[in-house]
Amino acid sequence: MAVERVLSGMRPTGNLHLGHYNGVLKNWLRLQHEHECFFFVADWHALTTHYDTPEIIEESVWEMVIDWLAAGVDPSSATVFIQSKVPEHAELNTLLSMITPLSWLERVPTYKDQQEKLSGKDLATYGFLGYPLLQSADILMYKATQVPVGEDQIPHIELTREIARRFNHIYGKEAGFEDKAKEAIKKLGKKRAKLYEEMRNSHQESGDDEALESARAMIEEQQNLSMGDKERLLGYLEGGGKIILLEPEYKLTPASKMPGLDGQKMSKSYNNTISLRESPDDVTKKIRTMPTDPARVRRTDPGDPVNCPVWQLHEIYSDDSVQDWVQTGCKSGGIGCIECKQPVIDGVLKELKPMQERAVQYTEDPSLVKNIVAEGNEKARKVARETMRDVRDAMGLGYS
Ligand code: TRP
Ligand code: SF4
């Protein structure tokens, strides 16, 4: 299989909590060992909605990177960087804006949804309308094949795919493309050339996606082909011109099943979170004061875990025997709620402990974090510079 490149970003708008950890971050941790990963702080995206509170962004950028590192993001296998420190994103955003129909942006569902949801803020800005295009620039810059995102972000990835297609369609044409593609096929050698033609036909005549995938993989593996020839062969497979920008796939982040302190989904806007660096005392306090089944007025009143948010946490943090103990004790009135909450407190503290220990070195010495990010910025810029060279050339801006 061709090498996958994963890219994902997060807006720095506050502390990360257990919901982020159990949804997004655990997913990142897995991916960083399987693929080449780029994880970045989307600070410009944060400004689209928080333009009037820049101080929150500034602080959250570093706190968020510390949370990532504490959770186990490993800078020796993933590239961690900050969007605004790779100004090529802004250049690509500008260039892509030239070919982006206004209607494509206006019909992205988050545009109207968020304006309604955040009605206290004036989001009728150019920057906010352009939010998904900036995201497309983030993704296309790295020729990412996979973008792990939550469900709400799928339209943004679809927009990205459409923009890549439009870009390749407009700028992927070069004089004598067919001839050049045919020359490139010869370079594959007889056997592979035949296979390529067969798979190309199969895809173009009957829309065989598997043939397309295998042909792509075969091309990616060729060591003796120039980048230009690879792009021609990839483009020729689908009938069009050169593929300059790659259409990404989205990879749905497994939904975080993390319930908050009130039984609703854990989310900052519900004020029901436990943050990754919450002190043990505060964790204890927060769980001790959680609401329970209202039927249990006195300690001896029987209750039912289905009516209790604490039970939802037991489902995550407790093993079968503890869960049995809760079920029996709650329904018979045999255990008290404070008693019942203790294993949950222990479970949360146990999950947070290694993260909080890892965070200490970074909070004590912020230069560690700055160095990791500086290195990541440089790595990201190297890729970004290459993409921009191709994009500028394609758009007739290759002169100097
Ligand atoms: N819009 C994303 C979010 O709110 C953040 C983001 C910005 C992003 N650029 C991206 C995610 C590129 C993935 C890829 O979650
Ligand atoms: Fe909830 Fe446990 Fe109290 Fe039952 S005993 S109401 S499950 S906290």
Q: Output the ligand 1 site: residues, CB below 6 A.
A: 7-11, 42, 45, 135, 138-139, 147, 149, 153
In short, whether 391's Cβ falls inside 6 Å of ligand 2 is no
- In which band, very low, low, confident or very high, does the pLDDT at 2 lie, cut at 50, 70 and 90? low
The pLDDT of residue 179 is 87
The pLDDT of residue 1 is 46
| Predicted confidence (pLDDT) per residue in 78-134, tens digit | 999 999 999 999 999 999 999 999 999 999 999 999 999 988 899 999 999 999 999
| Ligand 1 centroid distance, CA of 155 (Å) | 12
- In which band, very low, low, confident or very high, does the pLDDT at 203 lie, cut at 50, 70 and 90? confident
Half-sphere CA count of 374, side-chain side, radius 13 A: 6
| Ligand 2 centroid distance, CA of 304 (Å) | 7
Atom nearest to 135 CA in ligand 1: 9
Q: Could you give the CA distance from residue 128 to residue 261 in angstroms, rounded to a whole number?
A: 32
Instruction: Annotate 291-306 with b (16+ C-beta within 10 A) or e (fewer).
Output: ebbeebeeeeeebebe
| Predicted confidence (pLDDT) per residue in 249-258, tens digit | 999 988 778 9
In short, whether 82's Cβ falls inside 6 Å of ligand 2 is no
Give the H/E segment covering residue 275.
Answer: none
Domain spans, the chain: 5-172+247-257+366-394, 179-237, 278-363
In short, whether 313's Cβ falls inside 6 Å of ligand 2 is no
In short, whether 293's Cβ falls inside 6 Å of ligand 2 is yes
**CATH fold for domain 278-363:** Tyrosyl-Transfer RNA Synthetase (1.10.240)
| Ligand 1 centroid distance, CA of 6 (Å) | 12
The pLDDT of residue 172 is 86
The pLDDT of residue 74 is 98
For domain 5-172+247-257+366-394, the CATH architecture is: 3-Layer(aba) Sandwich (3.40)
- In which band, very low, low, confident or very high, does the pLDDT at 5 lie, cut at 50, 70 and 90? very high
- In which band, very low, low, confident or very high, does the pLDDT at 241 lie, cut at 50, 70 and 90? confident
Strand, coil or helix: what is 320? helix
- In which band, very low, low, confident or very high, does the pLDDT at 242 lie, cut at 50, 70 and 90? confident
Does residue 201 surpass a pLDDT of 80?
yes
The pLDDT of residue 13 is 87
The pLDDT of residue 273 is 97
In short, whether 64's Cβ falls inside 6 Å of ligand 2 is no
Q: What is the mean pLDDT of residues 148-168?
A: 95
Q: What is the mean pLDDT of residues 203-212?
A: 85
What is the average pLDDT value for the chain, to the nearest integer?
94
- In which band, very low, low, confident or very high, does the pLDDT at 14 lie, cut at 50, 70 and 90? confident
- The arrangement of strands across the sheet holding 36-41 comes to 78-82, 36-41, 5-10, 146-149, 249-252
Closest ligand to the CA of 298: 2
Q: What is the mean pLDDT of residues 283-303?
A: 96
Atom nearest to 335 CA in ligand 2: 5
